[in-house]
Structures are given as C-alpha cells and as structure tokens.
Amino acid sequence: MSERFLVSGGNRLVGEVSVGGAKNSVLKLMAAALLAEGTSIITNCPDILDVPLMAEVLRGLGCDVELEGDVVRITTPAEPKHHADFPAVTQFRASVCVLGPLVARCRRAVVALPGGDAIGSRPLDMHQSGLRLLGAHSEIQHGCVVAEADELRGANIRLAFPSVGATENILMAAVLAKGETVIDNAAREPDIVDVCNMLNEMGANVTGAGTSTLTIKGVESLKPTTHRVIGDRIVAATWGIAASMTRGDVRVRGVNPKHLSLVLDKLRAAGSEVTSEPDGFRVVQHERPTAVNFATLPFPGFPTDLQPMAIGLAAVANGTSMITENVFEARFRFVEEMIRLGADARTDGHHAVVRGVPQLSSAPVWSSDIRAGAGLVLAGLCADGVTEVHDVYHIDRGYPRFVENLTALGGNIERVS
C-alpha cells in the first residue's frame, strides 16, 4: 500500500535524538559474514527496510539469518550457494557487496544486477576490473554479474575513483587470496574502516584503513566474530541540518563527531552553534541560516548523501548558495521537487544555484531516493501549510523510526496510507 507523509511547517526542532548503526556499514558487514563458516553476530543494527532485504539475500545463499531487535545473527554454511539471483537482490544497490565474498569463498559468483536509488549511473566496471586483477574472470551475462576463478592471487590495484562499493568488493575478495594485495586510491569512508575492523576481528590482515592505500595479506580462512556497527553519520547529520533549518536546538547521540568534521564546520559557517561531544554533537540555531557553498566529494569531503539536505538548508538561508555535485550526476533530480515547494533554485550540469527565501510553500512532492525524501521532509518543516511527501518507502530504507524521532523533536509529521 502506498504511504505518504503529511508535514506541517512552522515548528522548531528541540530535544535529543539517538542514531542507530550506519546503513552504509551494516549491509556490507552482513555480506562479510559469508567469508567464515559459523555464526557471526552484528549488533547496533538499524531498524531499516534494507536489513531484512539483505537477510533475504543471505538466506538465498544458504545462510540462516535471525533478526532480533538491533542484533543480526548470521550462520554461514561450509559451502554457501554462489547464485544470488532473486527479487531481493534487484531492490537495493548494496546487494552487490556479496560479489567479493562469494568469489573468495566459492570461487564463483552469479549476482543479479542490483537496483536501488535513482541518483545516476553507478557501473560495476571497477568491481569487475579489480576482481580480474586478482585472477578472476568476470563479465555480465543475462542481467547478472558472473565472476569465477580457480585461484585468487594478490595484486596491485589502483582505482580510477575512490569508489566505496568497489573498494569493499575487492577488499573482501582479497582477504582470502594468496599473497599481498594493495588497493591504491581506496575509499576512506568510516564505513570502509568499519568493514576492515570486522575483517581483522575475523582473522584477516588488513592495514591502512582510513587512508587511500589498503594493504591486505591473504589468509587461509576466517572465523566468525561479534561486531558492533558504527553510528550512522548521514542520519546524524540530517538531524543536525534539520536543527539549523528550523532554528532549533538538537543534541544528536550515537555517532563519532569526527566522522562529520566538514559537515559540522559548514553548519558553523551557516551561523549554528555546534558543540562536539564524546558520542555526538549539539546544533543550536538562533537566527535564519546564512548561505553556504557546498561541493560533494568522497570522504573526508562533504557526503553526496547529504546533498539534498544541503539544498534544503540553502533554500531557506539568507543569501545565495552554490552546490556542486561531483559524485552522482542525477542527484539534482531532487531540485525539481524543491522548486514545487517554492525554492528559488536553478541547475546547470554539476552545479545548482539556490537563492534562499524566508519561507517555503507547501505542495505535494515525490521522493526519488532515500536522501531526497528526507530532504523534502526537512523542507516541509520550513513551509507554510501541509506538505505531502509521497513514495516514503525510500525514507524507510535509510532512516529508522523517522516519524517517531521527528515527532519527539517537535516536528509535526503524520504517516498516512
């Protein structure tokens, strides 16, 4: 059944909110459990739709998966199945992260081309070329990525772009390859560090996590482990930006503020009082935000996942902002919906120019992806009247208890069918 949010604007967000585990980590950690026979336990898992979808992917590969609260137990058989070609795979992008572990464990993988958010082209070229350098043969056949190898051997691999997904797949294949693998221009995101930490807990030998060079010394086998997911920096930053947009006062718990250094600096530049705390941060905004320019880049740059929220902030700020999208070319699709809400915005290629207005106006809008949906809700909090946000299942894929958390902070939002 189609659901939508009714968002009434005008309220300041005030209070405290806790974030759960990172969406961009937990799905990859679940895939990493394929690398070891036995039961791995992942804690601090977020209550989002993509977790049970990933559980279905793993069950289709022969694993036994139990979901209980924020704990996922994954029991991997001695011989996992190698064919991930079923409906759950095509529903979300992260399903492709089983490719590397399957090639490592089974020496063969068949993974249906994944679906996910409509934010632009995200080809698997770097995933495949990395696996080929490790000794695998990989190609696209009948709508699936097919990779197989008699033996994986370490290699020197330089990525053309610090792709998170490619880094993860190559990394998880290399941990069981013979010899040493070096990945240059690797992604540096905290989610990559989280995966590296879990792999090392399982007995892998990975160094350089958090830098642009990962060194992996292959081992014979891995063992199951228990691992806690890091806090979700994108969800945390969403609440921080919401505080700035609504001239509110919000304390966010459950995240390492060092993972959001640049984002918090941008909020300070917008006029917010930002205080970092051991397990989070606090954002207080007294006056209308000041316009700030944003340019999305791989970590430690400004996250592309926060670009819709940056545009929302620019839409109500005092002055003109330029937002440059350097990662996904179709992410500005969201701007059309912001214009429905009265935003003064224009796009040209990789750039958007947004002239802030004192108040947005309510209208029906449609989510095209997880972050666009959240950005539209934040804009609705700054609009007159009631804004209808449609296709909210996207938001449920990335934000646990979204309506409940927003309501607890004083937001006026209702989910209706």
Q: Which residues are catalytic?
A: 117
- State how far the Cα of 303 lies from the Cα of 159, in Å rounded to an integer: 19
Residue 384 labeled ligand binder: no
Both tokens assigned to 57: 């992917």
Residue 93 labeled ligand binder: yes
Residue 266 labeled ligand binder: no
Separation in Å, CA 131 to CA 107, 122, 155, 176: 11, 17, 10, 12
- State how far the Cα of 353 lies from the Cα of 303, in Å rounded to an integer: 18
Q: Which residues contact 223 (CB under 8 A, 6 or more apart)?
A: 36, 38, 202, 203
Q: Which amino acid makes up residue 14?
A: V
Residue 405 labeled ligand binder: no
Residue 258 labeled ligand binder: no
Q: Which residues are annotated as a binding site for UDP-N-acetyl-alpha-D-glucosamine?
A: 93, 305, 327
Q: Which residues are annotated as a binding site?
A: 23-24, 93, 305, 327
